[in-house]
Chains A and B, each alone.
Chain A
């Protein structure tokens, strides 16, 4: 008689062990538990609901297929996040092939508008409720270019080092540094602009 497990109360480690032995119900519980986080990461990179859904589900399928390779070096959700990030990066590369990227490249080479912006001296996030601040950050992220947003997500949200980001984005460390610099400056300007709009 198969063992009965109380899946919702089991920690991730226990569910992973069961899933590695083929317990699909244990894996389904892991999906239910972490689906929002994985979807959110895909959404932050792709900014497209349909693509984010497809890529997050593809990440779960790959997670199941590769589960035997998970040895607990990181948390399960960190491991899954890496999978969805790689899928998003692959998709971004595919998408780039279908549209001209010369404008973006030129923009980066010239230093970008962001370099000319005055430094934001007043903290635009002060006094904001958390929900409002999150909404503003979300709006500002949506206004970044794909390349700037990607490096921002990988550095600020995933805490990856320059070298690791360069490897994943298949670019030089110098390019990572430039993109991150311009992304941060633009974010600051956008957040300050949103605050200025509020005070009008």
Chain B
């Protein structure tokens, strides 16, 4: 027998031949002693191995064997991604975008009061036209207030008055 025939003999044993090939092989087996002997040898190995697989036990205790598996599972576990439904994501976007706009608007309201960027101005001195009087004045834009301190140059009498900013406009 050539190797091709021998391999077909094995395939016949393993049920891997087509019906036509099976008929040919059965015909060969009927007339060839060598083929029958080879088939018997292959059959002996095929039948005795599956039911006599060597029994092997894990050479570690249950706890020790498991501990390594458990540790590796813990090490390789990834936190589950937080899944949001589509409407939750949309709602979240709307809230943040609206809030953001509102926040910016509110900040702008504080920063811009219609007159410019400054919220405080330094107090400034106003010149006094009365030669007998001296005065010192202070103006605060933030507080919308001016304070004028008047005093007699000779007598030292003084009077202070809070004057609204508008009245000092020249």
Binding site for B on A (CB under 8 A): 24, 28, 31-32, 35-36, 39-40, 43-44, 49, 53, 56-58, 60-61, 64-65, 111, 115, 119-121, 123-125, 130, 133-135, 137-138, 141, 152, 155-157, 159, 161-162, 174, 177-178, 180-181, 184-185, 187-188, 191
Task: State how many residues of chain B have any CB contact under 8 Å with chain A.
Answer: 37
Residues of A within 8 Å of B115, CB to CB, are: none
When the two chains form their complex, are residues A61 and B76 in contact, meaning their CB atoms are under 8 A apart? Answer: yes
Residues of B within 8 A of A124 (CB): 44
Residue of A nearest to B6 (CB): A181
A67 to chain B, nearest CB (A): 11
Q: Which residue of A lies closest to B75 (CB)?
A: A61
B21 an interface residue at 8 Å Cβ cutoff?
Answer: no
Cβ–Cβ contact A44 & B54, under 8 A? yes
Q: When the two chains form the complex, which single residue of B10, B57, B62, B76 contacts A184, counting CB atoms closer than 8 Å?
A: B10
Contacting B41 at CB < 8 Å: which of A32, A133, A188? A188
Q: Is there contact, CB below 8 Å, between A57 and B41?
A: no
Whether a CB of chain A sits under 8 angstroms from the CB of B121 is no
Instruction: Determine whether the beta carbon of A137 is less than 8 Å from that of B41.
Output: no
A-B contact count (CB 8 A): 118
CB pair A119 B38 closer than 8 Å: yes
Query: With the chains together, A32 CA to B70 CA distance in Å?
Result: 12
Chain A residues with Cβ below 8 Å from B52 are 125, 130, 133-134, 137
- The listed residue with most A CB atoms (<10 A of its CB), out of B6, B16, B48, B62, is B48
Chain B contacts of A191 at CB under 8 A? 45
B168 at interface (Cβ–Cβ under 8 A)? Answer: no
Please list the residues of chain B having a beta carbon within 8 angstroms of any beta carbon in chain A.
3, 6-7, 10-11, 14, 16, 34, 37-38, 40-42, 44-46, 48-50, 52-60, 62, 65-66, 68-70, 72-73, 76
Given contacts A39-B57, A181-B7, 17 further A-B contacts (CB under 8 A): A35-B58, A44-B53, A49-B59, A56-B58, A57-B68, A60-B69, A61-B72, A115-B3, A121-B40, A121-B41, A137-B48, A137-B52, A156-B46, A174-B7, A177-B11, A185-B42, A191-B45
Residue from B7, B34, B58 with most neighbouring chain A CB atoms (10 Å): B58
**Shortest 10 CB-CB distances between A and B: which pairs?**
A138-B54, A40-B56, A156-B49, A184-B45, A39-B58, A60-B69, A119-B37, A61-B72, A177-B7, A125-B48
Neighbouring B residues of A188 by C-beta, 8 Å: 41-42, 44-45
Q: Enumerate chain A residues within 8 angstroms of B65, measured Cβ to Cβ.
A: 31, 35, 57
A88 to B89, CA, bound (A): 45
6 contacts between A and B (CB under 8 A): A36-B56, A64-B73, A111-B3, A133-B52, A157-B53, A181-B6
Q: Does A135 lie within 8 Å of B41, measured CB to CB?
A: no
CA distance A157 to B49 in the complex (A): 7
B72 near A134 with CB under 8 A, answer no
CB neighbours of A58 from chain B (8 A): 72
Q: How far is the CB of B39 from chain A (nearest CB, A)?
A: 10
Q: How far is the CA of A40 from the CA of B53 in the complex (A)?
A: 9
Question: B45 — which chain A residues lie within 8 A by C-beta?
Answer: 156, 184, 187-188, 191
Instruction: Give chain B residues whose Cβ lies under 8 Å from the Cβ of A31.
Output: 65-66, 69
